[in-house]
Amino acid sequence: MSTAAHPLNFVGLLVLASAALLSPQRVIAGPPKLSDAALVGYAAQPFDHMAMMGKRITIGLHHGAPVVAEFPCSDVCPQYTTRIIHYDVAPGAACEAAGGVTQLRRVPFSIAMVERQFCVPRPLAAENGR
> How much is the pTM?
0.74
Listed in order, strand segments (DSSP E) in the chain are: 56-62, 65-70, 84-87, 100-109, 112-121
Domain ranges of the chain: 1-30, 36-126
pLDDT tens for the chain, 130 residues long, are: 444 443 333 333 333 344 444 444 445 678 899 999 999 999 999 999 999 999 999 999 999 999 999 999 988 899 989 999 999 999 999 999 999 999 999 998 888 889 999 999 999 996 554 4
